[in-house]
Structure 1
Amino acid sequence: MERILSLQDVRFTYTPDDPDGRHAVDGVSFDMHAGEWIAVVGHNGSGKSTLARLMIGLLFPQEGTVGLFGDTLTEDNLWEKRSQMGMVFQNPDNQFVGATVQDDVAFALENNGIPFEEMTLRVQNALKQVKMDTFLDHEPQHLSGGQKQRVAIAGALALRPRLLILDEATSMLDPQGREEVIRVILDLREKTGLSVISITHDLEEALLADRVVVMNGGRKFAEGTPQEVFLKGEALTELGLDLPFAMRLSALLGEQGIGTEPGTMTERKLVEQLWTLRSNR
């Protein structure tokens, strides 16, 4: 598969003149291929948000390289590479600039000189993809949190990115809003094969990814499938991360002599096991 992102021994510190300054990102390497969903998880201060800024060229590493779409990211090709990426941040209110939903989604397209007729089609298609096409003339500030993030995703999708980066995009949402956004991402991946990187502390969200990268103290602590990473159990909780709810409940049931499968990660799988145990009694 095509490699669209590559980090090679990347290091970055916010205090380069301090010989004892701690690296916010310290020797991180991993690759991403087209169509993948990678979740980058870690507690506050682990380096995951700095990593996101390095990926999109808001920061450049002092050591190592960031590769995007086959080329090393530099100041010379920054805008060309960034035009192939979409970014959705934690607080959707900070991203709105238009008076209406359609004005907001069209903003970046106007800046890129997209002709009006094509721009109109892109706006309508992007809003339809996130199921917000009936809100064209609504004012963004009157939308719910989940609706606002869906509009922010539409703004990114209208640019037709090859890579979508979500930086804590669900952290400020209530459970319903979080479910709305995750459902949109899953649907887009299924229909378009969109590549996604989600920077998150929500391990339930990370369960949906193809691969998980765990950050701690600026370093890559672990990398693998959700199953491989979350089976580390106590090692993750010692970093200040919660295990998925189904894993915690499965462990508690085991302490009570109810034998579910070790490492059960989803509530659906856990319910199926409990029904099987009940039926076999």
Structure 2
Amino acid sequence: MNNILTLNNIIFSYEVDQPEVKNAVEDVSFTVTEGEWIAIVGHNGSGKSTIARIINGLLFPQSGDVTVFGKLMNEDNLWSIRTELGMVFQNPDNQFVGATVQDDVAFALENNGVPYEDMVARVHQSLAQVKMEQFLNHEPQHLSGGQKQRVAIAGALALRPKLLILDEATSMLDPQGRQEVLDIVRKLRDDTGLTVLSITHDLEEAILADRILFMNQGRKFAEGQPSEIFALGDELVELGLDLPFSMKMAKMLQEKGIQLDGTHMSDEELVENLWISNFKK
């Protein structure tokens, strides 16, 4: 598999002239390979959003380097690298610039000089990918939160990125909107092999990833598959993260003496394991 992204010994401080102030990111290294879904999780102030800004070139580290698509990121190639990145941010309302949904999706394509006929085709294709093609001429402000974020994802997909970055993209949505967005991203990843990097504090979202990086106080505290990270259990809670509902419920059931075997990271797994362990004959 090709390496899409590599961070090598990254150090970043917002207070360079104050060495006594702790670095926002301290000696962080990791690699994302083509087709992976990686989740970077951590409490507020853990360094995960700073890492997102470094990956997108909004910040440059004081030490270490970032390699994207085989290119060592610098000020000379930053803009060409960004054309291959898709970014979806926290607040969908802050991302809209067009009067209609199709105008908004086309905005970045126009700025990149995409020919009109190709641009129209990309707008329709990307909106179809997120199941929003019937909203072409709708005004964005009249959409639900989940629909707005799906349009934001369509705008990123229209650029045909090699890497889609979700920076707390579901944190302001209600449960239904959040599920809509995650279902769309999961289907896109499964259907197209899109590489996804999600920055989140929500472990329910992180469950979907192939691999999780757990940040704490600017450092990479742990890295592994979701089952390996969630095995930390109460340690995650102590460091400011909330366990998924299914894991909290499983713990309560076990404390009441109810037997549970296997994993229970999702509601479906919990129900199945509860049935197999206690009721199936």
TM-score by length of 2: 0.98
Give the distance between the partners of 2:12 and 2:19, measured in 1 at CA. Answer: 13
Unmatched 5+ stretches in structure 2: none
Q: Which amino acid aligns with 2:162?
A: R
Instruction: State the secondary structure of the residue aligned to 1:196.
Output: strand
1:221 equivalent to 2:242? Answer: no
CA distance in 2: counterparts of 1:136 and 1:264, whole angstroms? 40
List aligned pairs for 1:1-281, cutoff 5 A. Answer: 1-261=1-261, 263-280=263-280
The AA in structure 2 aligned to 1:101 is V
Unpaired segments ≥5 residues, structure 1 = none
Q: How many percent identity over aligned positions?
A: 64
CA distance in 2, matches of 1:263, 1:26: 33
How far apart are the structure 2 equivalents of 1:262 and 1:191?
29
Q: CA deviation at 1:88?
A: 0.2
* Partner SS for 1:232: coil
Matched residue of 1:125: which SS? helix
**Amino acid across the alignment from 1:222:** A
Question: Following the alignment from structure 2 to structure 1, what is the Cα–Cα distance between the partners of residues 273 and 263?
Answer: 12
**Superposed CA offset, 1:94-133 (max 9, x none):** 0000000000000000000001000000000000000000
Looking at structure 2, the residues matched to 205 and 265 of structure 1 have their Cα atoms a distance apart, in angstroms, of 11
Q: What amino acid is the match of 2:12?
A: F
Match for 2:141: what amino acid? Q
What secondary structure does 1:31 align onto? strand
Q: Which amino acid aligns with 2:68?
A: L
Is contact 2:165-2:197 (8 Å) kept?
Answer: yes
1-structure distance, mates of 2:193, 2:277: 38
Deviations 1:188-207, CA, capped at 9 Å, x for gaps: 01111000000001100000
Superposed CA deviations along residues 174-198 of structure 1, whole A, max 9, x for unmatched, are: 0000010001001101111000000
2:276 and 2:59 mapped to 1: Cα distance?
Answer: 52
For residue 29 of structure 2, give the secondary structure of its aligned residue in structure 1.
strand
Q: CA RMSD in A?
A: 1.0
The TM-score, its normalising length taken from structure 1, stands at: 0.98
| Alpha-carbon distance between aligned partners in 2 of 1:104 and 1:245, rounded to the nearest angstrom | 36
The list of structure 1 runs, each at least 4 consecutive aligned residues, that deviate by more than 6 angstroms after superposition, is none
Q: Is the 8 A contact 2:206 2:212 kept in 1?
A: yes
Preserved contact between residue 246 and residue 267 of structure 2 (Cα < 8 Å): yes
Q: Is the 8 A contact 1:231 1:263 kept in 2?
A: no
Question: Displacement of 1:254 after TM fit?
Answer: 0.7
Counting matched residue pairs gives: 281
Distance 1:262 1:12 in 2: 41
Q: Partner amino acid for 1:27? A: D
Task: State the Cα distance separating 1:251 from its structure 2 match.
Answer: 1.1
Structure 1 Cα separation of the partners of residues 93 and 149 of structure 2: 9
Q: After TM superposition, give the deviation of residue 57 of structure 1 in Å.
A: 0.3
Shift of 1:261: 2.3
Letter matched to residue 276 of structure 1: I
Deviation digits for residues 158-189 of structure 1 (CA, Å, limit 9, x no counterpart): 00000000000000000000010001001101
